[in-house]
Structure 1
Amino acid sequence: MTSKNKPFIIMMILFLLILVTFFTSLNLGHIRIGPLDVLKTFLGAGTAQDQLVLFDFRLPRMTIALLIGAGLAVSGAILQGVSQNGLADPGILGINAGAGLAVVMFIFFFQGTMTAVGTFSIFIMPLFALIGGIGAAFLIYTLAWKQGVTPVRLILVGIGVNAAFGAGLIIFQLRMNPTDFMQATIWLSGSIWGTNWKFVLSVLPWIIFLIPLAIYKARYLNVLNLGDHVATGLGAAVEKERRTLLFIAVALAGSCVAVGGGISFLGLVSPHLARRLVGAKHQLLLPASALMGALLLSIADMIGRNLLAPSEIPVGLVVSALGAPYFIYLLIKVD
């Protein structure tokens, strides 16, 4: 295996692991469906129960896990590249909380939409999350700016803004009716609660448009990592490209939060693991991060659904349990 082909082979291995996890997860759950029964169901010869479980519950949920995992991972990789901060993550910096606050406000002012799950509300939630994420990002960078943005200042301001938005979330939750309160609480803990194809369609356009756009812009991330003066000398429109990349990262995080809730640490851990495997060149790092994020969230969702079955652990809690120790390690390691 040559060094030139190694990243592509690694990404192929990640893709194969995603397929293995995907088909394994189809078999597991409170209602077990054997591999042959899964195959029969796909061929149209399965029982009515198997068709209901697979096509109406498991497949849309697992598809959403893959999309959200890829989106959050690429968002984290972009934020780490733009800020030159290995601790950057949409959950830690407060972007997820800003998007979540916007969605909870939407739920609060249009109570019943979460329960009724109207088509309009499903597709409008990512737009509210995008607005909330952009507002949070603007506030964080404004407060963190002091003759530039240092990694430590960015993290500290992000944690503070995250806490402030968290307080706002609690205020709105306490004013909700009991049904919407429970829905919002489960959603905020990072539960992939949207188990139908409408939720897949609500997040799919954002992912299939923004991730290829991010990969297309990857060369600018490489240049920005050389420093603003060098990047300007190489002909890059530094501020314009930085704003574009930040918008892509926030839009990815916001659309994922709208469907998957507050899943932290995934955008932190996935790019770091991908960087160890394929290197720091963003043309390779971004697709590898997408695959790594999709794999990790699929595994976390499988664990959350089956560890205490028939009860379910929100996938956000599983990711946090796995990602928090790695964050502490990075926090100790960073200068």
Structure 2
Amino acid sequence: MIHPSLIRKQRIFLLLLIVFILITIVIGMGLGYSSLSYNRLLLTLLGQGTNKEEFVLFSIRLPRIVITLLAGMALAVSGAILQGITRNDLADPGIIGINAGAGVGVALFFLYFPISASSFIYVLPAVGFFGALLTACLIYLFSYSKRVGLRPIRLVLTGVGFQMALSGLMVVLISSSDREKVDFIARWLAGSIWGTDWPFIWAILPWLIVLIPFSLYKANRLNVLGLGESVAIGVGVSIERERLVLLLSAVALAAAAVSVTGGIAFIGLMAPHIAKALVGPRNQLFLPICLLLGGWLLLLADTIGRNLADPDGIAAGIMTALIGAPYFIYLLLRQK
């Protein structure tokens, strides 16, 4: 049973995060290459703005804000699941190569399988999922031992190796492509939020509507898996089946996110750690906080990045790496 004081603490943090998200959304709606006066925001939202104001808000700003928020949520939950099933605090879909696998899948599809633009958007998450799934399976196989089971540190090292190899493959793909397609892949590698139209939101939303509630439902299973294999077997949990199901969920969430945002890492590393520091390691408590925290972190990174340099700003993936890379090194040194 969870102590009532912890539940109250969780609710306070959830409320604070919702407030932070709303404040960041309001700030993000006004800031940009074409600024929008804050005293006109409400009128524009109600459909009483000028054509320019409505175009900037509804066609440029809001879709980007929503897609960034949803992608951050998906990456955070994916990272929390990966850390839970591997019992490794360094696991993150960007660091261990899952995002890169999704990127290679998307790039190959984009380069060699011509399809109409209207269909391309909705196929992207599925293509990214298959690329990420193949990568995750290979990483899992190389990290698994019949004698000791899954080796957490080896998983991270193997994943980093796959990430580097797949990034190299992306460079090879770039070298054999025309300029327009090279620009797309380069933006993806940098973690630039490129899917900024409403159809991209409708493309990834069904994945999140299904997988995020499912992940929250599996919180207790993650708690048991975190206690170790002997304990999980003792309480009747089918370890490999649960790991496989949760791994598929984590891969699908990460693939859906990066298929429209590009190669963004470290959100899935930082958000679970901060959430656990706030309310403790029980998944029922920290997963909802992790969900909102991931969305807010990526939204904040993108809002700051796109206003630091004109006209395109700095990619959100670069902004998260500036914070996340030192944090990853700190965690790596702490585990020695």
TM range (shorter): over 0.9
CA displacement at 1:260 relative to structure 2: 0.6
- Partner residue, 2:258: 257
Aligned match of 1:21: 24
CA distance in 2, matches of 1:310, 1:172: 27
Structure 2 match to 1:270: 271
AA aligned to 2:22 is L
Distance 1:144 1:291 in 2: 31
- Percent identity of equivalent pairs: 45
CA drift of 1:2 comes to: 3.4
Name the counterpart of 1:137: 136
Q: CA deviation at 1:15?
A: 1.1
| Partner Cα separation in structure 1 for residue 229 and residue 253 of structure 2 | 25
- In structure 1, the residue matched to 2:33 is 30
Letter in 2 for 1:107: F
What residue number does 2:80 align with?
77
Number of aligned residues:
331
Match for 1:262: what amino acid?
G
Q: Deviations over 1:236-262 (max 9, x none)?
A: 122111111000000000111110110
Q: Aligned partners of 1:4 and 1:170: how far apart in 2?
A: 48
Counterpart secondary structure, 1:306 = coil
Aligned 1:15-164 pairs, distance under 5 A: 15-110=18-113, 118-146=117-145, 147=147, 148-164=149-165
Aligned partner letter, 1:171: V
1:149 Cα offset (Å): 2.3
Q: Kindly state the Cα deviation for residue 81 of structure 1 after the two structures are TM-superposed.
A: 0.5
Q: Is the 8 A contact 2:103 2:262 kept in 1?
A: yes
Matched position secondary structure for 2:150: coil
- Tell me the CA shift for residue 171 of structure 1: 1.3
Give me the whole-angstrom Cα distance separating, in 1, the residues matched to 2:188 and 2:150.
32
**Secondary structure, aligned partner of 2:5:** coil
Q: Deviation above 4 Å: which 4+ runs of structure 1?
A: none
TM-score (norm 1): 0.96
Letter in 2 for 1:174: S
2-structure distance, mates of 1:104, 1:245: 26
TM-score scaled by structure 2?
Answer: 0.96
Deviation at 1:290, TM superposition (A): 0.8
Q: Name the CA distance, whole Å, in 2 between partners of 1:149 and 1:233.
A: 18
Residue matched to 1:237: 238
Q: What is the rounded CA distance, in whole Å, between the counterparts of 1:286 and 1:4 in structure 2?
A: 13
